């Protein structure tokens, strides 16, 4: 039976999907295109060199296993790297050495001192006219740094790419970097963090942050003043250009046309471009196709809603920064109920401290409930640890007292650890309180159990399905009550 390259790769994807989390699958495997199948060699096309290197570093064992399952022990995978000019470059899977992408940039000479602009020659839209020579202010928020940008599975790709750019602006294969995601997930913070880090490492670099709204208004003014050329020339002085919320450029034809020329000039000169958006480039309606095509040249990094652990880390970092202390169970309760927006998470903290200070009231769960009602329409219905224990015990055919006892039988241990994991994720109980309901165990046992369950979910697809099934069953049962 003969098979084509698309069928072989589809079969590989079915196996890969079971062995990686959904976000990793969407980020690293959905963009891959199968190109051809030559005997035992499957060729796949990846967007850029960085993409290829990441696969080789993090997923080489998984890819080797899946390709051999499909093509036999002699099966191998070859890469075709899509370069910025639309051509391809081959990289053999059997060679660990990184493929060289033949994309070169001219360095572009300037007669101005770094970070300075001669106003008589080029008008600077960020300063008041009349000053002969001024420094281009980066318009960055100095509080948005990598140090206070908490890393998690939800943002690891984007943060890693941002750090790589900060170390070598314009010199990586992800130019432009497009950071996209829903409101309040940290897109602007990350973009500013890159800019601030570039300035720290390279003080002579010209970095500029601008919102799409301000950019559009500047274009309107330059058209009114018959100074479009000055406007374009000014932007060509920038080494790292950060444009926030590019989705608002939609249906603005003249703005898109001017931005297209600025983008081309910066990119061809080896300058770094960073863009943020509330959606991926392919979904930017009202945007010229030639712009969307250029946005896809580099790396599009998705920001997802943070998981519970990451939300707790974010809130604790904010508390440390502001010198605030609140009980651990209150922190966990807030993070359990505010799930999709980091700004709301921080807003709840500010409101909670304000209410406590104004009313001379201790910060506790009841106060947190009142504050959270101003941010979410409904606080999650309470799930008890007892109910979780009962449901998990039934699933494994055990008595609840086995979960609370001392037995070390493997089935009981797995059920106990899974119950602790679900209790941590689905209730507002502290780690200490959860441990006490399992025969007086301490919080470190709960932490160890949660990590064990997470490790099992990453390596055992059947166990992962079991966890998902139990979570759904618990949540559905609340709606039925």
10-residue stretch averages of pLDDT, the chain, 481 residues long: 80 88 80 87 81 79 88 86 54 37 30 35 47 64 87 85 90 87 86 93 90 88 83 86 91 89 89 92 88 86 82 82 78 77 79 76 78 63 78 85 84 89 82 86 87 86 84 60 40
Which residues does 168 contact at the CB level (< 8 Å), separation at least 6?
none
Q: How is 291-343 classified by DSSP, letter by letter?
A: HHHHHTSSEEEEEPPP-HHHHHHHHHHHHHHHT----HHHHHHHHHH--S-HH
Phi, psi of 180 (to 5 degrees): -130, 155
Do both 323 and 422 map to the same domain? no
Nearest CA among 239, 249, 304 for reference residue 274: 239
Which DSSP helix (H) or strand (E) runs through 154? none
* Eight-class DSSP state of 99: P
Which DSSP helix (H) or strand (E) runs through 384? none
Number of domains in the chain: 4
Please write the tens of the pLDDT for every residue from 164-216. 899 999 888 888 899 998 888 888 999 999 999 999 999 989 899 999 888 88
Do both 128 and 196 map to the same domain? yes
- Give domain status of residue 40, yes or no: yes
Residue 30 belongs to domain with CATH number: 3.30.300.180
Give the chain's length: 481
Strand pairing report for 133-135 and 116-118: antiparallel
Q: How is 7-72 classified by DSSP, letter by letter?
A: HHHHHHHHHHHTTS-HHHHHHHTTT-EEEEEETTEEEEEESSHHHHHHHHHHSHHHHHHHHHHHH-
Do both 122 and 262 map to the same domain? yes
**Residue 442: per-residue pLDDT:** 85
Phi, psi of 455 (to 5 degrees): -65, -40
- Give domain status of residue 106, yes or no: no
Please tell me the pTM assigned to this model. 0.56
**Residue 121: per-residue pLDDT:** 38
Residue 395 belongs to domain with CATH number: 1.10.1750.10
Its sign, for the CA torsion 66, 307, 444, 478, is negative
**Residue 382: per-residue pLDDT:** 61
- Give domain status of residue 98, yes or no: no
Q: Are 3 and 38 in contact (CB under 8 A)?
A: no
DSSP 3-state of 189: helix
Do both 122 and 252 map to the same domain? yes
477: its two tokens? 């049962």
Q: Are 166 and 198 in contact (CB under 8 A)?
A: yes
Do both 176 and 241 map to the same domain? yes
Domain that residue 62 falls in: 5-92
**Residue 179: per-residue pLDDT:** 92
Q: Are 270 and 214 in contact (CB under 8 A)?
A: no
- Give domain status of residue 434, yes or no: yes
**Residue 82: per-residue pLDDT:** 66
Residue 355 belongs to domain with CATH number: 1.10.8.60
- Give domain status of residue 458, yes or no: yes
**Residue 84: per-residue pLDDT:** 46
- Give domain status of residue 403, yes or no: yes
Buried b (16+ CB within 10 A) or exposed e, 420-451: bbbbbbbbbbbbebbbbbbeebeeebbeebbe
Q: Are 159 and 194 in contact (CB under 8 A)?
A: no
Do both 274 and 133 map to the same domain? yes
Phi, psi of 350 (to 5 degrees): -60, -45
> What is the distance between the alpha carbons of residues 353 and 322, in angstroms, rounded to a whole number?
11
Please write the tens of the pLDDT for every residue from 363-420. 777 777 777 777 665 455 567 888 888 888 888 888 888 888 888 888 888 989 999 8
- Give domain status of residue 364, yes or no: yes
- CA distances to 318, 361, 441 from 367, in Å: 19, 8, 29
Do both 165 and 267 map to the same domain? yes
Do both 153 and 31 map to the same domain? no
- Give domain status of residue 111, yes or no: no
389: its two tokens? 């224990």
Task: Report the Cα 463 to chain-centroid distance in Å.
Answer: 26
């Amino acid at each position: 039976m003969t098979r084509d390259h698309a069928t072989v790769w589809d079969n590989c994807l079915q196996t890969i999907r079971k062995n990686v989390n959904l976000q990793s699958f969407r980020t690293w495997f959905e963009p891959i295109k199968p190109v051809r199948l030559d005997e035992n060699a499957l060729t796949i096309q990846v967007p850029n060199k960085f993409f290829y290197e990441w696969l080789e570093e993090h997923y080489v064992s998984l890819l080797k296993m899946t390709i051999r399952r499909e093509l036999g022990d002699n099966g191998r995978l070859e890469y075709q790297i899509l370069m910025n000019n639309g051509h391809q470059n081959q990289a053999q899977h059997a060679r660990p050495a990184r493929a060289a992408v033949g994309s070169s940039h001219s360095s572009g000479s300037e007669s101005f001192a770094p970070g300075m602009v001669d106003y008589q020659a080029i008008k600077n839209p960020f300063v008041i006219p009349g000053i002969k020579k001024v420094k281009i202010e980066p318009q960055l928020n100095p509080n948005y740094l990598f140090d206070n940008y908490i890393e998690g599975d939800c943002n690891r790709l984007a943060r890693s790419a941002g750090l790589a750019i900060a170390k070598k602006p314009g010199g990586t294969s992800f130019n432009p970097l497009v950071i996209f995601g829903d409101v309040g997930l940290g897109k602007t913070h990350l973009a500013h963090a890159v800019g601030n880090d570039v300035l720290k490492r390279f003080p002579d670099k010209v970095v500029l942050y601008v919102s799409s709204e301000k950019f559009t208004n500047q274009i309107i003014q330059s058209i009114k003043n018959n100074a479009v050329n000055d406007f374009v020339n000014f932007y060509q002085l920038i080494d790292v250009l950060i444009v926030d919320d590019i989705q608002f450029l939609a249906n603005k034809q003249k703005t898109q046309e001017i931005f297209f020329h600025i983008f081309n000039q910066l990119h061809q000169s080896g300058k770094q471009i960073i863009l943020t958006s509330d959606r991926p480039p392919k979904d930017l309606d009202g945007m010229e196709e030639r712009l969307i095509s250029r946005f896809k040249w580099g790396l599009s990094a998705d920001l997802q809603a943070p998981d519970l652990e990451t939300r707790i880390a974010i809130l604790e970092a904010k508390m440390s920064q502001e010198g605030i202390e609140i009980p651990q169970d209150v922190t966990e309760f807030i993070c359990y109920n505010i799930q999709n927006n980091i700004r709301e998470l921080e807003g709840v903290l500010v409101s909670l401290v304000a209410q406590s200070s104004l009313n001379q009231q201790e910060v506790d769960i009841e106060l947190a409930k009142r504050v959270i009602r101003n941010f979410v329409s409904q606080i999650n219905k309470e799930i008890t640890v007892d109910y979780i224990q009962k449901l998990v015990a039934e699933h494994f055919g055990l008595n609840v007292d086995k979960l609370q006892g001392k037995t070390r039988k493997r089935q009981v241990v797995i059920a106990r650890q899974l119950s602790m994991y679900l209790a941590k994720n689905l209730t507002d109980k502290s780690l200490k309180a959860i441990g006490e309901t399992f025969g007086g165990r301490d919080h470190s046992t709960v932490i160890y159990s949660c990590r064990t369950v997470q490790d099992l979910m990453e390596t055992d697809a059947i166990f992962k399905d079991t966890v998902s099934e139990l979570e759904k069953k618990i949540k559905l049962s609340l709606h039925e009550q």
